């Protein structure tokens, strides 16, 4: 059996093709193809060439693929999901061979092989997902309406307050200004008018974590707030789960905090959720999607998960 897993959001689309023995036969990466409502031509213009590339790399055709699973940003509402699935299956010729879920679900499939598991992931956006059983995955807040604390936004706001006098200045202010390549007097105009400001704000987490590790008071307060909200989210999301379960904290923002941040999360999680076992994110979401595709064809998840993890580690 051959399986394809795809993960697509606003920033990137990634795909993997593997077989039932856990051999990775092809991989691909492209720009994001998230949808709003029904799938559109920009979505297909990314996904169709990627599927063709994966098959070409592996020397197979799409007809050889037993199942394809897509984790897609924009698959959020039950009243849209059936039509989204139908249209994509018809376009790709995958009747009976397509699983379409929110991208947070495939991130969870990649995070842990445990049947009872949860994920808090903070990258370009927030992903929160959990399950009590294979195939019973659920998204906690797929569009982040409740706004998990974002230390990047908080840092920009606090820097502005340090500049205008509403907060006492610390070294963090100067580090942020240096990162943003702007003078204090121009900070507000830079925020709203500079084309490069968005990218600078999005990449500010390492600045905060470096200042935190150096003991900066303001950075410490921000990191503590982030950790508290990550753990609160995990606690609320898993409140209905009885017994032990695995949970992973991942994504670009969290990962930039390194082992020190993971240790802090572990300590706070132990106090809030003593039944939780913290684990690192094991596989990328597109690989998780391939495991989901195999599960849909009756393959037990744990052996394939382990084989894929070993194959990818060896390849790297």
pLDDT at 316: 77
Residues of the chain with CATH 3.30.420.40: 2-103+283-315, 114-281
For the chain, the average pLDDT equals 96
Of the candidates 257, 291, 308, 25, the residue with the CA atom closest to the CA atom of residue 137: 291
Q: Among all chains, which residue has been given the structure tokens 């959001």?
A: 9
Give the pLDDT score at 215.
Answer: 97
pLDDT at 289: 98
Calculate ∠ Cα 55-3-30, nearest 5°: 55
Please report where in the chains the tokens 């597109």 appear, as a residue.
286
H or E element in which residue 16 lies: strand 12-19
- CATH architecture of the domain covering 114-281: 2-Layer Sandwich (3.30)
Give the pLDDT confidence score for residue 306 in this predicted structure. 96
Q: What is the DSSP letter of 185?
A: G
Q: Which residues in the chain show pLDDT less than 70?
A: none
- The CA distance from 78 to 89, in Å, is 17
Q: HSE of 39 in the Cβ direction (CA atoms, 13 Å)?
A: 25
C-alpha 257: how far from its chain's center?
16
- pLDDT value for 315: 85
CA distances from 44 to 52, 89, 280 (A): 12, 12, 33
| Rg of the chain over all Cα atoms, to the nearest angstrom | 21
pLDDT at 132: 95
**Residue 143: its pLDDT value, please?**
81
Residue 161: strand, helix, or coil: helix
In angstroms, the CA 41 to CA 31 distance is 14
pLDDT at 213: 97
Structure pTM? Answer: 0.92
pLDDT in tens, 139-191: 998 788 999 999 999 999 999 999 999 999 999 999 999 999 999 999 999 99
What pLDDT sits at residue 125?
Answer: 85
Is residue 13 within a helix (H) or strand (E), and if so which, with residue range?
Answer: strand 12-19
Chain center to CA of 275: 24
Q: What is the pLDDT of residue 144?
A: 87
Q: Which residues pair with 118 in a beta bridge?
A: 130, 247
Give domain 2-103+283-315's CATH architecture: 2-Layer Sandwich (3.30)
Nearest CA to 185 out of 175, 196, 177, 197 is that of 177
Can you give the pLDDT at residue 77? 92
Alpha helices in the chain, H assignment, sequence order? 41-58, 78-92, 103-111, 151-164, 171-180, 187-193, 197-202, 205-213, 217-237, 252-255, 258-272, 285-296, 301-315
């Amino acid at each position: 059996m051959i399986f394809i897993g795809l993960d697509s959001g606003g920033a990137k689309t990634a795909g993997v093709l593997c077989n039932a023995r856990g051999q990775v036969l092809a991989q691909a990466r492209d720009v994001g193809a998230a949808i709003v409502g029904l799938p559109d031509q920009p979505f297909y213009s990314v996904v169709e060439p990627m599927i063709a590339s994966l098959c070409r790399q592996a020397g197979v055709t799409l007809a050889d693929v037993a199942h394809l699973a897509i984790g897609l940003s924009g698959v959020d509402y039950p009243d849209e999901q059936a039509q989204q699935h139908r249209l994509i299956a018809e376009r790709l010729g995958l009747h009976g061979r397509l699983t379409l879920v929110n991208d947070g679900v495939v991130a969870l499939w990649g995070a842990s092989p445990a049947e009872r598991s949860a994920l808090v992931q903070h990258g370009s956006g927030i992903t929160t997902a959990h399950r009590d059983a294979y195939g019973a995955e659920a998204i906690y807040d797929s569009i982040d309406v409740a706004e998990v604390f974002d230390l990047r936004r908080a840092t920009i706001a606090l820097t502005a307050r340090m500049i205008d006098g509403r907060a006492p200045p610390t070294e963090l202010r100067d580090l942020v200004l240096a990162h943003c390549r702007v003078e204090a007097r121009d900070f507000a105009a830079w925020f709203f008018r500079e084309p490069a400001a968005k990218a600078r704000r999005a990449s500010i987490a390492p600045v905060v974590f470096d200042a935190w590790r150096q003991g900066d008071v303001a950075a410490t307060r921000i990191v503590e707030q982030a950790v508290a909200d990550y753990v609160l989210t995990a606690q609320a999301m898993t409140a209905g789960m009885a017994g032990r379960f695995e949970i992973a904290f991942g994504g670009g923002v969290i990962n930039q905090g390194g082992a020190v941040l993971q240790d802090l999360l572990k300590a706070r999680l132990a106090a809030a959720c003593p039944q939780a076992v913290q684990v690192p994110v094991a596989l990328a979401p597109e690989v998780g999607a391939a495991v989901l595709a195999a599960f849909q064809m009756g393959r037990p998840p744990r052996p394939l998960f382990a084989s894929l993890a070993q194959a990818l580690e060896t390849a790297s």
